[in-house]
Structure 1
Amino acid sequence: MPRRIDLDQRREQLAEAVWSTIRRSGVGAVSVRTVAAEAGVAVGSLRHVFPTRAELLRFSAELMVRRATERVRATAPSGDASVDALALLRHLLPTQPDSRTELEVQLALIAEAPAVPALTAIRDQSVHQVRVLARHVVDSLAPELAPPRAEAEALRLAALTDGLALQLLAQPADAPVEWALDVLRDEIARLSALA
């Protein structure tokens, strides 16, 4: 069992090296050599774990989605639908170093999807998960909405959240984020009023 844990840790270490490379130099700089150097491992060691660049990128994207999903799932409900909605949606915004890094990497990997088709399924899964979360929030705030209207509101909420995330990413990491949270609060209030 310890060998399995070491392999899992090595995979995560290499994925994090991919993320660092993408943030510093862009996805075009990701190669077996550059990632091995970033991780401080021999090229042969990296190739043993990830024989190809595509496999390395795929795992890096999957790990990013998994970590973001775990953070959302770890959000403890408070019993107040509006408070819970904001807590959940906040995870989709780059307001913390981890979530900012994940969004930067996600956008780079989305841009790489035409060259690495394995990334397309991960991109689609990520989009689907955001829409499922948005639908959950809509259903919790306005449970009486008919399914077609609830689905439309969920798509609107997902699009709003994606737009806010891009706007936050375009500003410096230390810039205020409260304005984006206020936009979400306004949207949550609007959805609550539909109930």
Structure 2
Amino acid sequence: MPRIVDHDQRRRELAATVWALVREHGVEGVNLRLITEHSGWSSGAIRHYLPHREAILAFAAQHMAERVGARLLNLPRTGDPLSDFLKLVREVLPLDDERRAEAQVWLAFVALSLSDPGLADTQGVAYQALNETFRQIFEAFSTLGWPAQHPPEAAAREVQALIDGLTIHLLLEQITPGDAWATLETRIRQLIQAPAV
């Protein structure tokens, strides 16, 4: 009887290997030989899923975006819109080891995407998806009658830019996770003047 192969699981394993190599060697250091050594797979098995280096990197970037997106979608809701939004934003900021690893890989891909149109497209899709999520949330706040400092589009851009900046400061260890979170939470509370309870 032929062995049943879980292709999605194999792709997740490959993505995890590529992320680890990006963190250790940078994007430019990722190659088929290293992936073979670190994954324990043959080069033929890897090529079955990902035929060339560009496909490997694009897949790893896309898989990371999907992983973060799925985590955000599965956050439990409390029913308090502001509390739920703060919880969602906290998941994006690299405040722990798992999110720090994701942020390191993300930043490496951002740098490479400046010269690689395929990766630039992947990064653009991830950026737009998060921006649209934030925009919809700010729009929902306005329908609740909560006054806002800016239109939803501008507020979404500001929060996303603040997250990106704080992420870089955290990766460079120029700010503590506590200070980064306090900065972001304070600004979000300023942008959304929720009624006092």
TM-score category of the 2 structures, normalised to the smaller one: 0.7 to 0.9
In structure 2, the residue matched to 1:39 is 39
In structure 2, the residue matched to 1:99 is 99
Question: Is 2:167 the counterpart of 1:156?
Answer: no
In structure 1, the residue matched to 2:168 is 166
User: Percent identity between the aligned chains?
Assistant: 30
Preserved contact between residue 159 and residue 188 of structure 2 (Cα < 8 Å): no
TM-score, normalisation: structure 2: 0.86
In structure 2, the residue matched to 1:69 is 69
Counterpart residue identity of residue 57, structure 1:
L
Q: How is 1:17-28 mapped onto 2 (pairs within 5 angstroms)?
A: 17-28=17-28
RMSD: 2.4
Can you give the 5+ residue segments of structure 2 that lack an aligned partner in the other structure? none
In structure 1, the residue matched to 2:108 is 108
> How far off its partner does 1:192 sit?
2.2
Preserved contact between residue 61 and residue 106 of structure 2 (Cα < 8 Å): yes
CA distance in 2, matches of 1:21, 1:104: 11
> How far off its partner does 1:3 sit?
3.7
Preserved contact between residue 100 and residue 171 of structure 2 (Cα < 8 Å): yes
In structure 2, the residue matched to 1:57 is 57
> How far off its partner does 1:115 sit?
4.6
Runs in 1 of length 4+ with deviation above 6 angstroms? none
Counterpart residue identity of residue 153, structure 1:
A
User: Can you list the C-alpha shifts for 1:71-90, whole angstroms capped at 9, x where unaligned?
Assistant: 11111121222211210101
In structure 2, the residue matched to 1:134 is 134
CA distance in 1, matches of 2:137, 2:162: 13
The change in CA–CA distance for 1:136 and 1:112 in structure 2 (over 3 A counts) is same
Preserved contact between residue 15 and residue 60 of structure 2 (Cα < 8 Å): yes
Counterpart residue identity of residue 90, structure 2:
R
CA distance in 1, matches of 2:41, 2:152: 50
User: Can you list the C-alpha shifts for 1:42-64, whole angstroms capped at 9, x where unaligned?
Assistant: 21221122110111111111110
CA distance in 1, matches of 2:160, 2:18: 27
The change in CA–CA distance for 1:114 and 1:164 in structure 2 (over 3 A counts) is closer
Secondary structure at 1:171 match in 2: coil
In structure 2, the residue matched to 1:123 is 123
CA distance in 2, matches of 1:4, 1:40: 16
Can you give the 5+ residue segments of structure 1 that lack an aligned partner in the other structure? none
Relative contact order, CA 8 A, sep 6+: which one is greater? 1
Preserved contact between residue 58 and residue 118 of structure 1 (Cα < 8 Å): yes
> How far off its partner does 1:194 sit?
7.6
CA distance in 2, matches of 1:149, 1:81: 18
The change in CA–CA distance for 1:19 and 1:118 in structure 2 (over 3 A counts) is same
TM-score, normalisation: structure 1: 0.87
The change in CA–CA distance for 1:112 and 1:70 in structure 2 (over 3 A counts) is same
